[in-house]
A and B are shown apart, each in its own frame.
Chain A
Amino acid sequence: MKYRAPTSIDEAVELLSAHPGAAVFAGATDLIPQIQGGRPEPSLVVDLKRIPETVRLESENGFWRVGAAIPAAALTAHAGLSAVFPGLVEGAGLIGSDQIQGRATLGGNLCNASPAADSVPPLVALGAEAIIVGPGGERSAPVSEVVIGPGATSLDRAEFITEFRIPSPSRWSSDAYQRFIPRTEMDIAVAGAAARIRVDSDGRCEEAAVVLAAVAPTVVEVSAASGILEGRLIPHDSGRDAFWDELEEAVVSCCNPIDDKRGTAEYRRKVAQVLARRTVVTAARRARETL
């Protein structure tokens, strides 16, 4: 296994085009355990962290540009990002553990293509675009279209993600992410839910997005959520207004979970409902606090 750390996009694309057996990595927090667990070693591993575009973090022209190879610890420590996207930062701050977050990245978390990736639901809820480079040049794709199944992405072999472009939030808008694990850290989501809520000047929900993790082959957006929550005054506590039943029904209809060592399908459905409700409440509260 050879290691290369190109310093430009062109150099990286060239390497990947020339080596069909190559694998890209950023933090390698998934790649190395996978190799140790028996995945065949790639002939070449390409480290993306030396490419300036992959570690850039800035806000411009109505977008935040977040480098795909920035370690999660740098995202959670970033006051500006934490203020505008608290849910995304919550997701990044739940990957693995403190030590893992010193290495793990948004790009890697997405391209590992696990349905349980903690930073992906908030990216999808925020409408983030992935900027993808490859032999054909640069293209962009919604984050929701990058992963097509467990362990599989829509990227071509020599393509990789340089950064995410996230629309700056409109005013009175915020987000939240929660996952469920039986412990407090060092674990993988049994289920997760992200919510983005925009409220009007009265504090009523104007627009909503709810995205679930670990309940289907990919993260899945509850497309009916916005219609259900629009116009609702979402209470501080998650009391039993009728629309919650509608939301939970919509959540369950999006779930296609499996039974495995981390939880049963039935349990995942139930917890997805709980987490969806809790993150909607949190995101709505945060949004109102910006009024």
Chain B
Amino acid sequence: MTTTRTGYKWVGTRPVRHDGLDKVTGRARFGADYATAGMLHGAVLRSPHPHARILSIDLTEAAAMPGVKAIITGADLPDLSDEFAAGSEGGINFRDLSRNILARDKVLYEGHPVAAVAAVTLRAAQQAAEVIEVEYEILPAVLSLEHAMEDDAPVLHDDLFTLGLDSEPDRPSNISRRRVIARGDLDAGWVEADVVVEREYTTKAVHQGYIEPHAVVAETGEDGRSTLWCSSQGHFAMRTYTTKVLGWEPGDMKVIPAEIGGGFGGKTTIYLEPLAALLSRRAGRAVKMVMTRSEVFRATGPTSGSVMRIKMGARRDGKLVAATAWMAYEAGAFPGSPIGPGVMTVLACYDIPNVLIEGYDVVLNKPKVAAYRAPGAPMAAFAAESVVDELAEKLDMDPIELRLRNAVTEGVRAVYGPKFRKIGFVETLEEARDHPHYAAPLGPWQGRGVASGFWFNFGGETTATVSINEDGTAVVMSGCPDIGGTRAALAQMAAEELGIDVHRIEPVVADTHSIGYNDMTGGSRVAFAVGIAVVDASRRLIKDMCARAALIWDVPAEEVEWVDGRAQSVTDAAAPLTLEELASGSANTGGPLSATVTVNPRGAGAGFSTQICDVEVDPDTGLVTVLRYTVVQDAGRAIHPDYVEGQMQGGAVQGIGWALNEEYIFDRNGVMENPGFLDYRMPVASDLPMIDTVIVEVPNPDHPYGVRGVGETGIIPPMAAVANAVYAATGKRMQDLPMSPVRVLEALSGD
């Protein structure tokens, strides 16, 4: 595929999004908006302890409560053996997933589900859950990485033996896996280095913070066939996971995607779905379950807290010659932190010859982590990009210049293995360096920081259908929930191909029984992978329509071309036929106009971003205020620039929140102290300046319009950009997140 055309009519424009009116008028139906007649309501009993053995569960009193129709516990789920979900990179083991849905034998975090109740009202279900009697044997809890990794730490799982060690371990451990990446000759590298910086960094667990809590309505019939209405990032995966955990057949379950109120990776797994489906099966009625905000915080995936030690060495000329990284990520109660992408991304921006990266996946008594926007990369970049900034200072070199001297480019072998294809990292650095922001004056107690980030992006299994209606309008159907404006982007690509107005195209997110399989909306894959399928389907339709025009005109097919939404004879044998004319007459030329394409594309172009942050620090209170912020990011090609900019801004804002105030706070008993937006301090609108954006376009040669994913890369640089700015303002290196006022004032008082 090549990108030769320019001067697009729809690609690169900013039409009103197709789903916009429904969303601003409240007509869009999100997860909790679904209801059926006679529906029951479900509630979950959760563990009050972070680590305990379940000795007994007595349901007698709860079952006798008025209005209670069904109660389930872990014993009602099949006891699965280890099996990993396809494409989850070891993140989803169905055995663990089942035990996270409902505890079996042990509870492993405060908030771990122990039982679920369906009753005629939500209140009846909650009251019944409260009287379920659970006898626990409280076990010592493991609440920090340091503790979890100690030899004599209490072990969460008796059957967990560390993978990836040099010698076979002889006893269980909280370390589930060791990941190593190595190349070159470190000893030689350190000898060559004129300047070396080594630092330790820590970050806390942070939540995706989607506004819409998890919600589901499930209806299971006597025949075992079921329908789920739920909000997720991928209804096909919800079906696979839910039926796997229940021991049901995927073909017996239809999942209808609700509109999604934010996911950021957190809605790529299941929590309530199997509970509602099984309760419905038991009760013979539909069951609705909706999490409270507190449940969302206490029992759905945050991303990992981390401890990282980074050492980097550079020659006097700025060339990075050696680096080591030691990283440990919290997985929560079950194995599966994003340590894999962590070790792969931590040094991926730079061409360093001698490298050793070591990563550990560690379980502890906290909620199981889930994917969060570029999983594993932001904390790694916080550490690595802070070290790069310090190296630049020691070398007396501009930090962007230092990055330019080491930036990976096309053909360079990435530290994690493959060679980079066409990428735009250097371009983001140059744009940042030349941006007026980078040279703007600063006042007292103000400082500027920069940082960069890398993300792989993803392709994935995809089905798309493009159909022409009899009036010449079109339907573009995919099976990927729209979390970033992808309906508009897919419609724009189809409009560009078909040569019709983008608003004569209706983009549809179809349910599991209406379209072929689609991987989840994740890995910033939809505009890329589904875009390829939509463009291909549109081109097949055009070929088909040209053939039909040739049939009507009785000319060879190659004498017909498609121009501006019409079939045209190259020899002017007949007047052009419009899309409307071909559609309305399709019965006579071979039947309906529709094309379905399935792909599993490689070549998702890698994404890079460089960001500039200005802060002001109040030396009396330690408060850090972000004054100005610019995100420069390579989008390959921005199909709908508004939504590309929105992704860049959204990523930056989440990263700034992670940098400054967001953190899971646990009391000494392992109970989360801030499970709500009051004390889990995400930024509010008035906390931030307008986030400036610069879209760099280095087209991805593996997409017909040059698209690379843009959803995730933007969240990777912010923590280091903010930390580097705080250093510039105060002279203090902040190595522990969040950089809350308490921490910053402590650092300032350290003089």
B63 contacts partner chain A, Cβ-Cβ < 8 Å = no
B687 contacts partner chain A, Cβ-Cβ < 8 Å = yes
User: CA of A190 to CA of B745 in the docked complex: distance in angstroms?
Assistant: 14
* Distance of A237 from chain B, by nearest CB (Å): 13
B589 contacts partner chain A, Cβ-Cβ < 8 Å = no
Question: How does the 8 Å CB contact mask read for A258-276 relative to B, with 1 for contact and 0 for none?
Answer: 0011111001001100100
A180 contacts partner chain B, Cβ-Cβ < 8 Å = yes
Question: How does the 8 Å CB contact mask read for B711-747 relative to A, with 1 for contact and 0 for none?
Answer: 0000000000000000000000000000011100100
A14 contacts partner chain B, Cβ-Cβ < 8 Å = no
A188 contacts partner chain B, Cβ-Cβ < 8 Å = yes
A264 nearest CB neighbor, chain B only: B742
Find out whether the CB atom of A182 lies under 8 angstroms from the CB atom of B673.
no
- Partner of B673 from the list A180, A261, A270 (CB cut-off 8 Å) is A261
B742 nearest CB neighbor, chain A only: A267
Contacting residues, chain A, for B622 (C-beta < 8 A): 267
Find out whether the CB atom of A274 lies under 8 angstroms from the CB atom of B684.
no
Stretch from B47-55, B156-164, B675-683 contacting the other chain: B675-683
Find out whether the CB atom of B686 lies under 8 angstroms from the CB atom of A184.
yes
Find out whether the CB atom of B745 lies under 8 angstroms from the CB atom of A270.
yes
Residues 217-265 of A contacting B (Cβ, < 8 Å): 260-264
A185 contacts partner chain B, Cβ-Cβ < 8 Å = yes
User: CA of A183 to CA of B683 in the docked complex: distance in angstroms?
Assistant: 7
Contacting residues, chain A, for B620 (C-beta < 8 A): 270-271, 274
Find out whether the CB atom of A187 lies under 8 angstroms from the CB atom of B678.
yes
Counting chain B CB atoms within 10 Å of each CB, the highest count among A185, A188, A262, A264 belongs to A262
Contacting residues, chain A, for B679 (C-beta < 8 A): 188, 261-262
Find out whether the CB atom of A182 lies under 8 angstroms from the CB atom of B661.
yes
* Distance of A45 from chain B, by nearest CB (Å): 17
A186 contacts partner chain B, Cβ-Cβ < 8 Å = yes
Contacting residues, chain A, for B469 (C-beta < 8 A): none
User: CA of A271 to CA of B741 in the docked complex: distance in angstroms?
Assistant: 10
User: CA of A130 to CA of B686 in the docked complex: distance in angstroms?
Assistant: 35
B679 nearest CB neighbor, chain A only: A261
A188/B742 contact (C-beta < 8 A), A182-B623, A183-B687, A274-B621 known: no
Find out whether the CB atom of B745 lies under 8 angstroms from the CB atom of A187.
no
Find out whether the CB atom of A182 lies under 8 angstroms from the CB atom of B681.
yes
Find out whether the CB atom of B674 lies under 8 angstroms from the CB atom of A183.
no
B660 contacts partner chain A, Cβ-Cβ < 8 Å = yes
B665 contacts partner chain A, Cβ-Cβ < 8 Å = yes
* Distance of A115 from chain B, by nearest CB (Å): 16
User: CA of A180 to CA of B625 in the docked complex: distance in angstroms?
Assistant: 13
Find out whether the CB atom of A187 lies under 8 angstroms from the CB atom of B742.
no
User: CA of A183 to CA of B673 in the docked complex: distance in angstroms?
Assistant: 18
User: CA of A34 to CA of B673 in the docked complex: distance in angstroms?
Assistant: 15
Find out whether the CB atom of A267 lies under 8 angstroms from the CB atom of B678.
no
Residues 159-198 of A contacting B (Cβ, < 8 Å): 180, 182-188, 190
Residues 652-681 of B contacting A (Cβ, < 8 Å): 660-661, 665, 673-674, 677-679, 681
- Partner of A184 from the list B673, B684, B741 (CB cut-off 8 Å) is B684
- Please, how many residues of chain A have a CB less than 8 angstroms from a CB on the other chain? 18
Residues 189-215 of B contacting A (Cβ, < 8 Å): none
Contacting residues, chain B, for A183 (C-beta < 8 A): 661, 681, 683-684, 687
User: CA of A167 to CA of B740 in the docked complex: distance in angstroms?
Assistant: 40
Interface residues on B, range: 20 to 34
Residues 668-712 of B contacting A (Cβ, < 8 Å): 673-674, 677-679, 681, 683-684, 686-687
A271/B621 contact (C-beta < 8 A), A182-B661, A261-B665, A261-B673 known: yes
User: CA of A236 to CA of B686 in the docked complex: distance in angstroms?
Assistant: 28
Contacting residues, chain B, for A186 (C-beta < 8 A): 677-678, 684
Contacting residues, chain B, for A260 (C-beta < 8 A): 673
User: CA of A192 to CA of B741 in the docked complex: distance in angstroms?
Assistant: 15
* Distance of B665 from chain A, by nearest CB (Å): 5
Contacting residues, chain A, for B684 (C-beta < 8 A): 183-186
Find out whether the CB atom of A187 lies under 8 angstroms from the CB atom of B681.
yes
Question: How does the 8 Å CB contact mask read for B616-633 relative to A, with 1 for contact and 0 for none?
Answer: 000011110000000000
Counting chain B CB atoms within 10 Å of each CB, the highest count among A188, A260, A267 belongs to A267
- Partner of A267 from the list B661, B665, B674, B745 (CB cut-off 8 Å) is B745
* Distance of A284 from chain B, by nearest CB (Å): 18
User: CA of A29 to CA of B673 in the docked complex: distance in angstroms?
Assistant: 21
Contacting residues, chain A, for B621 (C-beta < 8 A): 180, 270-271, 274
User: CA of A265 to CA of B673 in the docked complex: distance in angstroms?
Assistant: 17
Question: How does the 8 Å CB contact mask read for B71-86 relative to A, with 1 for contact and 0 for none?
Answer: 0000000000000000
Counting chain A CB atoms within 10 Å of each CB, the highest count among B665, B683, B741 belongs to B741
* Distance of B27 from chain A, by nearest CB (Å): 23
Contacting residues, chain B, for A190 (C-beta < 8 A): 741
User: CA of A186 to CA of B620 in the docked complex: distance in angstroms?
Assistant: 22
A184/B745 contact (C-beta < 8 A), A261-B665, A274-B621 known: no
A263/B742 contact (C-beta < 8 A), A182-B623, A187-B678, A274-B620 known: yes
Contacting residues, chain B, for A182 (C-beta < 8 A): 623, 660-661, 681, 740-741
User: CA of A190 to CA of B661 in the docked complex: distance in angstroms?
Assistant: 14
Contacting residues, chain B, for A185 (C-beta < 8 A): 684, 686
User: CA of A187 to CA of B745 in the docked complex: distance in angstroms?
Assistant: 19
* Distance of A96 from chain B, by nearest CB (Å): 10
User: CA of A260 to CA of B678 in the docked complex: distance in angstroms?
Assistant: 14
Residues 9-65 of B contacting A (Cβ, < 8 Å): none
* Distance of B616 from chain A, by nearest CB (Å): 13
Contacting residues, chain B, for A262 (C-beta < 8 A): 679
* Distance of A244 from chain B, by nearest CB (Å): 12
A184/B742 contact (C-beta < 8 A), A261-B674, A271-B621, A274-B620 known: no
User: CA of A103 to CA of B745 in the docked complex: distance in angstroms?
Assistant: 35
User: CA of A262 to CA of B683 in the docked complex: distance in angstroms?
Assistant: 15
Contacting residues, chain B, for A188 (C-beta < 8 A): 678-679
* Distance of B290 from chain A, by nearest CB (Å): 14
Question: How does the 8 Å CB contact mask read for B144-188 relative to A, with 1 for contact and 0 for none?
Answer: 000000000000000000000000000000000000000000000
Contacting residues, chain A, for B683 (C-beta < 8 A): 183
User: CA of A183 to CA of B745 in the docked complex: distance in angstroms?
Assistant: 16
5 CB contacts below 8 A, A to B, read: A184-B687, A187-B681, A260-B673, A263-B741, A271-B620
Other A-B contacts than A182-B623, A261-B665, A261-B679, 17 sampled, CB-CB below 8 A, are A180-B623, A180-B741, A182-B740, A182-B741, A183-B661, A183-B681, A185-B684, A186-B678, A186-B684, A187-B678, A188-B679, A261-B673, A261-B674, A263-B741, A267-B742, A270-B620, A271-B621
The 10 closest A-B pairs by CB, nearest first: A184-B686, A274-B620, A267-B742, A261-B673, A261-B665, A184-B687, A182-B661, A186-B684, A183-B687, A261-B674
Interface residues of A (CB under 8 A from B): 180, 182-188, 190, 260-264, 267, 270-271, 274
Interface residues of B (CB under 8 A from A): 620-623, 660-661, 665, 673-674, 677-679, 681, 683-684, 686-687, 740-742, 745
